[in-house]
Amino acid sequence: MRQTPTVFVILFSLLAAFSVSCKGKKSDKKPETAKEITAAPVIGQETLLLLKDLEENGDYVNSQYFPSLIKASVVNEELTGKNLILDLRSPELFAKGHIKGAVNKKFGELPEYFQSGIKPFEFDKIILVCEDGQVSSYTTALLRMMGYGNVFAMRWGMGGWNKSYAEEGWMKGVSGKYEDRLEVISNEIPLAKGMPEINTGMATGQEIGEERFRKIFEVGTSEILISADDVFSDPEKYFVINLERKDKYDDGHIPGAVRYKPEETLGFADVMSTIPYDRTVVIYCGTGHNSAFASAFLRLFGYDARTLKYGNNCFMYDKMVKEKSKLSWLPFTLEESNDFPVVK
């Protein structure tokens, strides 16, 4: 039976307390080898409080609603319903064409807009849209964790709405240029060392979360995505996390990538403590949607987490197409897009 994050929080607190109490004391027993010397993972009090608060308020990242994605076809069917579509693209792109009824909002405006600009729960669904789906997925994860349980990200972004956007976005983003550099050996999860230290100065998990969300929306989205060219130019520069099934991971992954199980990582302090907090973390999945959700959670806790734009599609696309039936890959094609109208 898998332990809950709360159990691990208590365990780490006890380990930390024991470590402090033993300082300065001599021991007659010496370890036989250096491998037997392991330090307890360092997890700050604010981090523990935030983990506990998120768990007690629904544990969204380990629920059936994670990730909260919606197809463009469903959005189109419900255009006359009581839904709100928020377009996160630039005003220039929005003006050139958008979904009928959509409201253009900047990422940094969303917290205030949700608090005083609208009554969020008067809508059946609030649907976030961006160019390709990754920024809206990242934003949806944040808003869901803030308690807005009716927020969804439209899969594939505007690329899923109309083929003209898909041809300019997704179809130019897919590539098989790094297929000859894939690795098939398994890389082990590192030893747990701890998590980033959160220093908001707040006393409760709720207050800490509010401050962290405020900071994240203030920082913006300019550094949440990373390209395949950047990663493959120097893979050792990053700690790369693969969020695919084991058979897909074994079939070929980015050199040095470590596979983490999505359902057993986020919110579990013992596992999150194995993710280096002093390195840039690159997360990837098949399409970049799930990894964007995961990046939001890790960034909330202070990790420098980036999602690989377009996921596997951006570096092993041809292989995905060839093995689509064998491994249930999801290579983007124009069949994933639609011909729904846009207004100017």
Beta bridge mates, 187: none
Q: In sequence order, which residues have a C-beta less than 8 Å from that of residue 257 and are 6 or more positions away? A: 183, 187, 240, 241, 242, 249, 284
Query: What strands, in cross-sheet order, belong to the sheet with 281-284?
Result: 225-226, 305-308, 281-284, 239-242, 258-259
Where does the pLDDT of residue 262 fall: very low under 50, low under 70, confident under 90, or very high at 90 and above? confident
- At residue 38, the pLDDT reads 55
CA distance 206 to 263: 24
Confidence at 143, pLDDT banded by 50, 70, 90: very high
Q: pLDDT (tens digit, 9 = 90+) per residue, 172-225?
A: 999 999 999 999 999 999 999 999 999 999 999 999 999 999 999 999 999 999
- Residue range 41-86, pLDDT digits in tens: 899 999 999 999 999 999 999 999 999 999 999 999 999 999 999 9
For 90, list phi and psi in degrees, rounded to 5: -65, 155
Say yes or no to pLDDT of 21 above 70.
no
Residue 161 in this model has a pLDDT that exceeds 90: yes
Q: Does pTM surpass 0.75?
A: yes
Q: Which domains does the chain have, with CATH numbers?
A: 62-174 (3.40.250.10), 192-326 (3.40.250.10)
Task: Determine phi and psi for 228, rounding to 5 degrees.
Answer: -65, -35
Torsion angles phi and psi, residue 203, rounded to 5? -100, -25
Residue 12 tokens, joined: 């780490």
Q: What's the one-letter identity of residue 310?
A: Y
